Chains A and B, each alone.
Chain A
Amino acid sequence: METINLEDLFEAKLAKNEMIEPKDWMPENYRKHLIRQISQHAHSEIVGMLPEGNWITRAPSLRAKLILLAKVQDEGGHGLYLYTAAESLGITREEMLDALLTGKAKYSSIFNYPTLSWADVGAIGWLVDGAAIMNQVMLQRSSYGPYSRAMVRICKEESFHQRQGYEIMTQLSFGTSEQKEMAQDALNRWWYPTLMMFGPPDVESPNSENAIKWRIKRETNDQLRQRFINQTAVQVEFLGLVAPDKNLKWNEKKQGYDYSDPDWNEFKSVIKGNGICNKDRLLSRNNSHRNGEWVREAAIAYGKKQEQKQEQESKAA
């Protein structure tokens, strides 16, 4: 019998732009890389509900409240899509949640910044979701089937998130001078943390090389960051606001904007756990997990009861 080299088969599939599915053979490092990336992505969705959830009870109108609720509900759903995508690689939901709750797992550093005013809710939708969408549009063509399919659904649902954020920014920017100040202040605080979302510069990004090689990612951190800035600079201008970067200028030669790098030391420090809200976020997650324990217990008991009931009924029939 002819022996087929599984690794060659895997490489051939990638070369032909075919998807890798859960039952396909894959190199152990590919699997590990995906588990890390997808579970971090899932955690980010779940922790990402906290800064916005902070404003649900204080939304300035019923309309704004309904929109924000729908958005936060979407983020919860996105977390669920991603957790099951990661589970298809052989890690359990319990293991992932445990890693999040004990602080072993990482999530996007952006969610360790506080939401101080209503304008922050606008800035998050516009900038943070905008950056996430840019990344996720690329990930729709990721080489791992379940991840790619989750991304397609997420992108479809997420397009309203960015628009509702920009709507808030527009209302504030064209409102009273106080409101415009709020919008400018939010932009000042969220601009650089948003740029950090794309990850460290390509020359210092430890995971990028494999991610590109395996087609998990199709573009590098710096490419995505540049595209985001090109797109966003015009939107800043429309609002009549000013990005907190004196070097932000159109560069005709490169057909893109020049910009200043964020403070990468701050980025590293936030990832290490020293951001303004790291402790608070972890505490909130742990509290809500603990407070939900009785719900899970009740659900298990109910599920078992239903099963027994059905068995009895099928015996009686």
Chain B
Amino acid sequence: MNKDSQGELWEVFVQKKSGQPFVHCGNLHAYDKEMALQNARDLYTRRGEGMSLWIVLSSSIVASSPEDAGSFFDPSNDKIYRHPTFYQIPDGIGHM
């Protein structure tokens, strides 16, 4: 049997409605950008799942590594003053 390529792997992000964030919905194979876009439409939006798509080559994604999650995200845990609930607001000043 001939060895055949199935194209590169692309990640697909769908925006459900205008104004909403683009959410990752899956991936697919395609040989170029345009085909990736068309395949994504056929594969992920057959039932009105979205009106806008972002496609990116999987190999272009930079991801944090799960093993380092502890130390990588640690610095934010002790900075509770970043959250509004850290502060006391006097009564009688209305909504803040």
Contact = CB atoms under 8 A, between A and B. Distances in A.
Nearest to B26: A81
Nearest to B31: A303
B26 A149 contact: yes
Contact of A157 (B32, B33, B47): B47
Interface in B28-46: 28-35, 42-43, 46
Given A81-B26, A84-B28, A293-B4, 5 more contacts: A24-B66, A80-B28, A84-B27, A296-B6, A307-B32
B31 A150 contact: no
Given A157-B47, A306-B32, A293 B2 contact: yes
Contacts of A150: 26
Contacts, number: 63
B26 A93 contact: no
A316 to B, nearest CB: 19
B31 A299 contact: yes
Interface of B: 1-7, 9, 25-35, 42-43, 46-47, 63, 65-67
Nearest to B24: A149
A181 interface: no
A174 interface: no
A94 B3 contact: yes
6 contacts: A77-B46, A296-B5, A300-B7, A302-B32, A303-B30, A303-B31
Given A24-B66, A80-B43, A306-B34, A299 B9 contact: no
Contact of A23 (B9, B28, B33, B63): B63
Interface residues of A, number: 30
Interface string A67-110: 00000011001001100100100001110011001100000000
Contacts of A293: 2, 4
A87 B35 contact: no
Contacts of A302: 31-32, 35
A23 B26 contact: no
Given A77-B46, A98-B1, A84 B67 contact: no
A317 B51 CA distance: 31
B9 A84 contact: yes
B65 A23 contact: yes
A25 B67 contact: yes
Q: Which 9 residue pairs spanning A and B have beta carbons closest together?
A: A303-B31, A303-B32, A93-B6, A299-B31, A306-B32, A84-B27, A24-B66, A23-B66, A77-B43
Given A77-B43, A94-B4, A21 B26 contact: no
Nearest to B4: A296
Interface string A249-266: 000000000000000000
A87 to B, nearest CB: 7
A23 B26 CA distance: 16
